[in-house]
Chain A
């Protein structure tokens, strides 16, 4: 299973774009990249996922590099409610959540 590496924490100003990086250099060709977030001990919430192409939905955009070794989750206009722990997951034999990035949106 491919493991992911994320920064422990990040800050972002309210209204600005939050760009959360993830390294998954050992990802295999059939493994998807998933992003979840967890707000204050609530259940993890699905955000977006992708395989090769960039993806966008109402919550965020996902940019995957051409070699698929890294990706970036983009929250285009961060709000205070986006303060959460963000998990990047490379699917393999199971979902491995890791420690995630704690994003703090600052007023």
Chain B
């Protein structure tokens, strides 16, 4: 099993540019989570999907952030326009939802630096 796959692993961009982060969950999993980790705020849940449907996006910081899951094997997190304060590590995780919180398996993360 390849585990959760994220791309790119590192991203350096300039303020104002659009950034797209990608995630491929573990095959067979039906829930997908996007987290952000910074030194100041720790690991925060941004949004999660069940069966490709966004369930809770209350953690999305503002309208500049958007996430989609067009099918069971792919999700994107987009930041437009990006700002220096968006610099962080972004993790994607997946699990098999049975009606409660199940074990989540994390990807290696995307390290984003916005200059």
Contacts and interface: CB of A to CB of B under 8 A. Distances in A.
Interface of A: 30, 32, 34, 41-46, 49, 87, 91-92, 94-99
22 contacts: A30-B100, A32-B101, A41-B89, A41-B109, A42-B108, A42-B109, A43-B91, A43-B106, A43-B108, A44-B43, A44-B91, A44-B93, A44-B106, A45-B106, A46-B103, A46-B104, A49-B103, A87-B43, A94-B56, A95-B104, A97-B43, A98-B42
What 3 pairs across the A-B complex have the smallest Cβ distances?
A43-B106, A91-B101, A97-B43
Interface in B98-114: 100-101, 103-109
Nearest to B58: A94
A94 B100 CA distance: 9
A80 B90 CA distance: 27
- Specify the main secondary structure of chain A where it touches its partner: loop
B53 interface: no
Contacts, number: 41
Contacts of A99: 42
Interface residues of B, number: 20
Given A43-B109, A95-B101, 9 more contacts: A41-B109, A42-B109, A44-B106, A46-B103, A46-B105, A91-B101, A92-B101, A95-B45, A99-B42
- Specify the main secondary structure of chain B where it touches its partner: strand
Contacts of A34: 103
A94 B45 CA distance: 8
